Amino acid sequence: MGKKLLFAFLISFGFAANAQTILIKDTSGTVVNGDTVTFTEYYRVGDPTTWDHKQFVTVMNNSTDTMVLTLSRSEIQIIPGSYDFYCYGQTCLVPVKAGDQPFRTSTTDTVRVDPGAITAGDSPFTVYLDSATSGTAIYQYEFSDKRNRSNNASFFIRWIIRNVTSLDENVLNGNFSIYPNPAKSNATLNFEEALNYNRQSVEMFNILGEQVFSSPLNKGVRSFELNVEGLSKGIYFVNVVADGKRISSKKMIVK
């Protein structure tokens, strides 16, 4: 009887030891610890070359103890000449050129996470890639408990940047102009060609990567009226999204 109890204890201890205490989940709720999240972006000469993604994963404290999580980024593969940076906790780190800081972290910028809770903070976890015109970059992001460095979890982000000039222009058509820009109350988006995707929309983000506007676009649309009267003064990014992909982006100033 004693041997059976000891065996059961060892089995349960083994499960506890292997349990993941930091869970990284994508928007579908799937755990992506150790997995790769892929972003495919399209570059067209003359368009902005800054891409960002926010709130595409959540980080959960799956333990019974409070954690103080820090975040580090490691380069696995780079696109020469590009820059990357991220926001986490209370701050956004400045852009750094690929290859200059293969490993990057800020041990002072932490997020306290109670048992069973997910990370929060003034600057939600957001990743950026800038000045990349073609190629593939892979970065590893690792969350670790400042109180216990052996308690950590990581995942990978793969950025695939494709030059539109090497693809079928008709498939990725979505180029547009904004007038007036800067705008005070209203602006008009004029598309070079009518948009005829299965799903298409226009989205607007502030400089922190926060979405401030979103609207579907009808098939065949050639122009769209954008009301910015209620927005704070500053720089924004207006994106055209077609079938789940951002196909064009313009910088806009609200005055």
Q: Rounded distance, CA 207 to CA 212, Å? A: 11
User: CATH number for the domain including 84?
Assistant: 2.60.40.1090
The pLDDT-based confidence of 15 (bands split at 50, 70, 90) is: very low
Do both 84 and 198 map to the same domain? no
Last residue of a domain, one of 135, 164, 193: 164
Question: Which range of residues forms the domain containing residue 248?
Answer: 168-254
pTM over 0.75: no
pLDDT at 19: 67
Do both 156 and 106 map to the same domain? yes
Q: Using one digit for the tens of pLDDT, what is the confidence trace for 162-212?
A: 876 644 444 456 688 899 999 999 999 999 888 888 788 999 998 777 889
Is 8 contained in some domain? no
Q: Using one digit for the tens of pLDDT, what is the confidence trace for 65-78?
A: 999 999 999 999 99
pLDDT at 122 over 80: no
Q: Using one digit for the tens of pLDDT, what is the confidence trace for 145-167?
A: 998 888 999 999 999 888 766 44
pLDDT at 133: 87
Do both 150 and 172 map to the same domain? no
pLDDT at 18: 46
For the residues 221-233, what does the mean pLDDT come to? 92
The pLDDT-based confidence of 12 (bands split at 50, 70, 90) is: very low
Last residue of a domain, one of 137, 164, 191: 164
Do both 157 and 190 map to the same domain? no
User: CATH number for the domain including 229?
Assistant: 2.60.40.3080
